[in-house]
């Protein structure tokens, strides 16, 4: 699976999890979270680094608007640590892609 596609999947999981737990949605995302997901997908599609992209937080080019960047950070801070319980395989793949598995374990 390509890096962009897997990044989209990870972002989608994180936003959906956050929305379910904080906005009490059942199956669909609330309007605010749906807009953020679409925005994140658009940013990923337009990433100048394409399939060679790094984690957005490590990137020198900040393509998110400041308010959207704050929102996605909030969601990732909440959902990221919980992914190990709800999506352990995807969590490990994400760490390996970021090459931070050693940082997480040690």
The Cα-based distances of 62 to 4, 15, 95 in angstroms read 16, 20, 21
Tell which wins on pLDDT, 25 or 39: 39
Predicted TM-score (pTM) of this structure: 0.82
Band (pLDDT 50/70/90 cuts) for residue 101 is: very low
Asked if the model's pLDDT at residue 97 lies above 70, the reply is no
- pLDDT tens figures, 33-74: 999 999 999 999 998 888 877 777 777 888 899 999 999 999
**CA dihedral over 32, 36, 42, 43, signed as positive or negative:** positive
């Amino acid at each position: 699976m390509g890096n962009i596609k897997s990044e989209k999947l990870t972002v989608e999981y994180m936003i959906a999890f956050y929305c379910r737990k904080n906005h009490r949605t059942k199956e669909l995302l609330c309007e605010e979270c749906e807009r953020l997901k679409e925005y994140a997908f658009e940013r990923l599609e337009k990433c100048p680094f394409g399939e060679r992209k790094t984690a957005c937080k490590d990137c020198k080019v900040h393509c998110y608007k400041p308010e959207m960047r704050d929102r996605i950070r909030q969601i990732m801070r909440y959902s990221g640590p919980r992914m190990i319980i709800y999506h352990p395989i995807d969590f490990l793949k994400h760490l390996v892609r970021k090459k931070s598995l050693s940082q997480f374990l040690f």
